[in-house]
């Protein structure tokens, strides 16, 4: 079955880079996604990567995909206090998404 795993917590200092990691199991996933959830709010689609790509950059965000190891990462450059949130990775099959449990990112001053 499908399973997406993430570490639960990550703390970084303001201005440092954050790297949030994710592993997935379904090698036939077409897209992989990163969502951000701020307290008391719904999820916000941050970025995505097509499964035949290795890397995608979008301003401060860099997504790396290692398809052989089924490993996905999200790097946030120059992390700010406003980046404190829960980050979810998700893999897709057709119209179904399987989400990880989320990584709580805390940005320390």
Binding residues for another protein, rule: CB under 8 A, are 4, 8, 31, 33, 40-45, 48, 88, 90, 92, 95-102
Nearest distance in Å: CB 13, another protein: 26
- Smaller CB distance to another protein: residue 3 or 14? 3
The span from the CA of 7 to the CA of 77, in Å, is: 19
Contact 103, 6 (CB under 8 A): yes
Find tokens 């990584």 and name the residue: 103
Closest distance of CB 22 from another protein, Å: 11
Strand partners, 43: 37
Closer to another protein at the Cβ: 62 or 92?
A: 92
Q: For another protein, which is the closer residue by CB, 38 or 78?
A: 38
Q: How far is the CB of 45 from another protein (least distance, A)?
A: 5
Which tokens go with 64?
A: 């790396």
């Amino acid at each position: 079955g499908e399973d997406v795993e993430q570490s639960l917590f990550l703390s970084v200092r303001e201005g440092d880079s954050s790297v949030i990691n994710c592993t997935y199991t379904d090698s036939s996933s077409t897209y992989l996604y990163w969502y951000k959830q701020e307290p008391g709010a719904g999820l916000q689609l941050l970025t995505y990567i097509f499964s035949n790509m290795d890397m995608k950059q979008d301003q401060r965000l860099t997504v790396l995909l290692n398809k052989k190891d089924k490993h996905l990462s999200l790097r946030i450059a120059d992390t700010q206090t406003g980046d404190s949130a829960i980050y979810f990775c998700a893999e897709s099959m057709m119209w179904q998404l399987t989400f990880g449990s989320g990584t709580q990112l805390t940005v320390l001053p």
